[in-house]
Amino acid sequence: MKYIIQHFIHVISCFVMICFLGSCDTDIESVSITPPSIQEQNPELYAQYLSALRTYKGGKHKVSFGWFDNSKKMPSSQGQSIIAVPDSLDYLVLTHPEKLNNRELSEIKEIKENKGIHTLYEINFITIKEAYEAEKKAFEDNPNNAEKSFSPDFKTYLVDKVQKRLMLCTLFNYDGIVMTFLAKTKIYMTEKEKQTQRAHEKIFLGIAKDWKERHTEKVLVLAGKPQEVDDKEIFNLSNYIITPCLTSTSVSDVAYTLIKANVEGIPSNKLIPLVAMHSNDPADLKTGYWGKKHAAIGTANFIAQEHQAYQVAGLAIDNINNDYYQVRFVYPIIRGAISIMNPIVKK
């Protein structure tokens, strides 16, 4: 593995040198030209770089997930384009997986074939529940004008929405799904509330289990509080288990979340913390930060350490688009976090 990484670093070094030379401009006069891409300048070296990148992705390493807002169907900048996400990313989770246009489909295909980046999307129980409550209120306020397909029975509604959402995987040839079920702590629940949550869990995660058994080639990621799920058999079918740490303010918060998730029945080598990227609002100095440090960087340092009770499989980051717009370098936080988790192997 170390020789693969050394070759990977060597190819990248050459690749970066080409980028540097290609970006030099000694002419003080403004000239309207389109500089050739790196692929055009040295296609052979670029092909070696992509080959080394795919080899690295296929080897043992800490994986990375990035939630990406693809709502802009006609991007006005590279920061809104799928093709521009960091090459070192393993899984790209699209927040708007429906109605993909030809550009998006082409870019998804390119990043997978050339860079080994797999594209997923999320099915979130809470999102479905909130949509149901909104439709239910509209139905009760004015039954005649409400959506005709609305079913007052939430269980029926839940099955219908999850099944329709799952169809997107085949329709757009996604590599898999993220099923998010943020179960609540039962110790504070009444018996009726416990029964309701168990019923919802059985439906939501039961569908996920059945889907994975019929689509073994696809990736199934489970997100939420795994320790609060009753039927833990589903975790044996999942590729990874994401534990949300979006409101964390320190490494202690992340560690505590993972410790709580490390219970009997949960594979200890599949856990991945999900942290927030910083906000685009310059006045917001809390989202995605631990004091003055980026949560993603702090978590990456934590992941790179040795852990006796469990193995952290990687890092997930929300709203990665916000990391693109930087003065000196695009996606510096994400690239830095991935490099920290997967340092260069020395002789």
Task: Please give the model's pTM, rounded to 2 decimal places.
Answer: 0.87
Please tell me whether residues 250 and 263 are part of one structural domain: yes
Same domain, 135 and 233: yes
Q: How far is CA 9 from CA 198, 322, 328, in A?
A: 49, 27, 21
| 53 and 175 in a common domain | no
Residue 157 in any domain: the answer is yes
**Nearest to 128, CA basis, from 234, 207, 231, 65:** 207
In this predicted structure, the answer to whether residue 242 has a pLDDT above a threshold of 70 is: yes
Would you say 136 and 158 are in contact if contact means Cβ atoms under 8 Å apart?
Answer: no
For residues 268 and 332, membership in a common domain is answered with: yes
241 and 334 housed in the same domain: yes
Domain final position from 13, 41, 60: 60
Number of domains the chain is built from: 2
Count CA within 13 A, CB hemisphere, residue 281.
Answer: 6
pLDDT grade, residue 126 (50/70/90)? very high
Write out the residue range of the structural domain in which residue 194 sits: 61-341
pLDDT category at 209 given cuts 50, 70, 90 is very high
- The verdict on 2 and 131 lying in the same domain is no
What are 160-196's pLDDT values in tens digits? 999 999 999 999 999 999 999 999 898 889 999 999 9
The last residue of a domain, from among 41, 60, 79: 60
132 and 264 assigned to the same domain: yes
- Tell me, yes or no, whether 85 and 54 share the same domain: no
Q: Is 64 helix (H, G, I), strand (E, B) or coil?
A: strand
pLDDT band at 38 (very low <50, low <70, confident <90, very high): low
Residues 6+ apart with CB under 8 A from 323: 277, 278, 317, 330, 331, 332, 333, 334
pLDDT at residue 347, as a whole number: 31
CATH of residue 277: 3.20.20.80
208-229: average pLDDT: 97
Is the same domain home to 108 and 53?
no
Count of alpha carbons within 13 angstroms of residue 100, beta-carbon side: 24
Q: Which one-letter DSSP state was computed for residue 79?
A: G
Predicted local distance difference test score (pLDDT) of residue 144: 72
